[in-house]
Homo-oligomer: A and B are copies of this chain.
């Protein structure tokens, strides 16, 4: 069919030019568009609907774990940003500054929030007085701004959407529990909903968040062998509490500092969905987040009864899945390509011959597999197939990741892998930042995390040969 060839040809092949393939999908699947503001994107309805599904699912998980949503101002006075030393050093070089309101110059510059620790801390100092006020388990959905030099839709933009959890606890133990609890919420969400397997672990001192005592991360692997930091959870200890004087009276009437955490995921998860599951025909969406899970495409729709049957089937399926009908006047092949490009998990074809046989054809986006199903069974069959797609996508992604995960005992092996077979590299580390820096200098790879599940690749640091402390996942990252 010439028309769908034309459409498919419009995307660059994934193996030919991964970056261009990515950009092509962003545009052709109607996920985002450029705007006249450098590095800022328009999130289009289809992209935003995926984000809404992500939000809905995560928000429910946050509420089930006792969190409440709030909204903080988008501006931070310069003096407030400067209260925690490490934090301001990390963020000040990359914030946008508001200097004028209306016609007037401001007496103090305001930055557009790059993250909201300082605002939450100021508020917590106001409202936390007694142990009865703890814990405070707050979350915020908003947009933040970081003045990046180079940007790519979803992966790195000047402005992005995210959620930021900020909690305050009576004890260090509770803060640590919360930090890990939310990391696990993220990991479970990524695997069950996005069908993206993740490595859970701790960031090195060099890679941790500005102002944190410890940063934990979930790291996923993209199809080109590059890593993507997909979510982080930070334990702040009482560092911010001391800087902002957030104290409470404990049960013994003694003043104590609170212990805090923060954790966040962003719209870059849409980038992960593209780069983990997508193929040369476009986006491939896991059913759990797909705005449309099943698209009914009538074949020879001008023939009597075909469109009516398509609507009838749509109505039946609407009870068990998010379903649409494409009754536009385009050719079926063209429609097939369009919905493939948009990653709709399941296509349902129905034509005159199918109607005669009281059947329809289900075509899986992920495998192209065709299933002939009796119309009497679709209401059972569709959820089964969607569920199989969800499971299979995760397994496929896990197999891809495992296949692209290598072990290196020394720098020669490390370099060879980096140059020839990009992916995760498991290698031992002495714990010294000098070695971490040197690995990056030589190979471009960074320490993605010290995973919770430790293997022993060898006894000695891959870089200096001294005794190893940890096994680290290394990789080039987005």
Give the interface of A toward B (CB within 8 A): 33, 35-37, 40-45, 48-49, 51-52, 68-77, 80, 93-103, 109-110, 112, 119, 122-123, 126-127, 138, 142-143, 145, 147, 158-159, 161
Contact = CB atoms under 8 A, between A and B. Distances in A.
B36 A49 contact: no
A97 B100 contact: yes
Leading 4 A-B pairs by shortest Cβ distance: A40-B73, A45-B68, A101-B147, A43-B71
Given A98-B98, A147-B102, A42 B70 contact: yes
A63 to B, nearest CB: 10
Given A93-B103, A98-B112, A101-B96, A75 B37 contact: yes
Contact of A138 (B41, B45, B72, B159): B45
Contact of A123 (B42, B119, B126, B158): B42
A244 B478 CA distance: 36
A76 B35 CA distance: 10
Contacts of A95: 101-102
Contacts of A96: 75, 98, 100-101, 110
A69 to B, nearest CB: 5
B36 A52 contact: no
Contacts of A42: 70-73, 119, 123
B68 A33 contact: no
B98 A70 contact: no
Contact of A37 (B44, B73, B102, B103): B73
A35 B69 contact: no
A69 B44 CA distance: 8
Contact of A35 (B36, B72, B97, B101): B72
A392 to B, nearest CB: 30
Nearest to A40: B73
Of A43, A97, A138, most buried by chain B (CB within 10 Å of CB) is A97
Given A49-B69, A74-B145, 9 more contacts: A35-B123, A42-B72, A45-B68, A48-B68, A49-B68, A51-B71, A94-B102, A97-B100, A99-B100
B145 A37 contact: no
A153 to B, nearest CB: 12
A147 B122 CA distance: 23
A44 B68 CA distance: 9
A80 B36 contact: yes
A48 B36 contact: no
Contacts of A75: 37, 40, 96, 158-159
Contacts of A37: 73, 75-77, 110
A188 B103 CA distance: 39
Contacts of A45: 68-70, 138
B100 A35 contact: no
Contact of A36 (B103, B122, B138, B142): B122
Contacts of A158: 75, 101
Nearest to A51: B71
